Structure 1
């Protein structure tokens, strides 16, 4: 299996690793470790480059597989062979925007849960914008304005963001660890990764985040929609 370096250091931009498997059909390689995020939880996968023996390979998609993390390469040249030592580099501009956006979604989730007790029913994001669905029966323009003001207060509060990997038994003793309506954690996993915005939000999460809420920048709620009787969608954008 591939060690996910980004789970413990989201700011790691470059790394060395060894090719452990090659998938000719997918034009992809598996590494013993990687700083590339493979996607999940509404967050897009990373892109970037892998350099091996003087050849630079563009990484266009990264995803999980039973054997490890697949790095799909867009290149006519052959793939690096098993045992090759590579240098990986994450597209940092894209990654950092995703980190800001994902943390913004947690701030929104934390504020809505704290102030209104509403659980998350869905969500999605791309660099500097995203949407989140909540169990709201009623949502108005005035209430959206109140929520926007509250989330930006949390950004300005400069709250630290902490990552921990806990034994399953310890993690599930945390109240409200799962903020989604449906528990998406795979059954039987021995450890649970948690993201804590100190003083605001603590939940299970596998994505990459900034270290402090002030890095998120101003959040704007640009739209909201009703997606059912008790399901409301909020759209958020961040300043460049």
Structure 2
């Protein structure tokens, strides 16, 4: 990948200057970006770019192994120019809160029921996760309600979220570092680790809050039965 991912080192970067590497129509690749590209089930960031008095709405995407910024129109700037990028922070920050909440939720269900995630999505409005828990829906709803209550208790403890890198072989030796039922981390020599000490540790490439208190309160929206091994929980943060 040509682009340095600023959010992996500091998820709170809202504005940045970057050098244009490639322009193809309205798609732009930069040498660095604070825009998350939508990988890992987290909704891609949107925002805008400014150059020479022109403002371009933008949304990130992952294409061909690169972070591509899709603009609302072909830009006047060219490779070598420096542009100013601004992330839609209100939407990004809600996704960060939901993302960290999702890690705590997956840890609670993994520890209680050895449950793994079989699917998921995080938007700025809500998150949904599928878990391979079984039972009738009344029992499943109770499982989710008790898990969310524990998530909220943990969040209010104000735990600092740690982000660091480990060699892949070393990282994969950590129990529970992968909580996805059918997916392993990317085949990279080093893995980015997101740790909530005493609660959860996972290989993860996306943006997170610095402290669990920033999550607020997790609220259940609804619970669905999506078939065997797939009980879906929709939730949000307030």
Give me the TM-score of the superposition, normalised by structure 2: 0.93
Written as runs of structure 1 = structure 2, the 5 A alignment for 1:50-65 is 50-59=49-58, 61-65=59-63
After TM superposition, give the deviation of residue 67 of structure 1 in Å: 6.3
Contact 2:134–2:140 (Cα < 8 Å) also in 1: no
Contact 2:15–2:34 (Cα < 8 Å) also in 1: yes
Unaligned 5+ segments in structure 2 are none
Give me the TM-score of the superposition, normalised by structure 1: 0.92
Aligned CA RMSD, in angstroms, stands at 1.5
Contact 2:220–2:234 (Cα < 8 Å) also in 1: yes
Aligned partner of 2:219 in structure 1 is: 220
Written as runs of structure 1 = structure 2, the 5 A alignment for 1:142-161 is 142-161=142-161
Contact 1:157–1:214 (Cα < 8 Å) also in 2: yes
Unaligned 5+ segments in structure 1 are none
Contact 1:22–1:79 (Cα < 8 Å) also in 2: no
Deviations 1:137-186 (A, max 9, x none): 12344333322211110111111111112221221221221101012423
Q: How many residues align?
A: 234
| Whole-angstrom distance in 1 between the partners of 2:162 and 2:75 | 41
| Whole-angstrom distance in 2 between the partners of 1:210 and 1:78 | 33
Written as runs of structure 1 = structure 2, the 5 A alignment for 1:59-208 is 59=58, 61-66=59-64, 68-75=66-73, 78-138=75-135, 139-187=139-187, 189-208=188-207
| Whole-angstrom distance in 2 between the partners of 1:82 and 1:106 | 38
| Whole-angstrom distance in 1 between the partners of 2:75 and 2:83 | 14
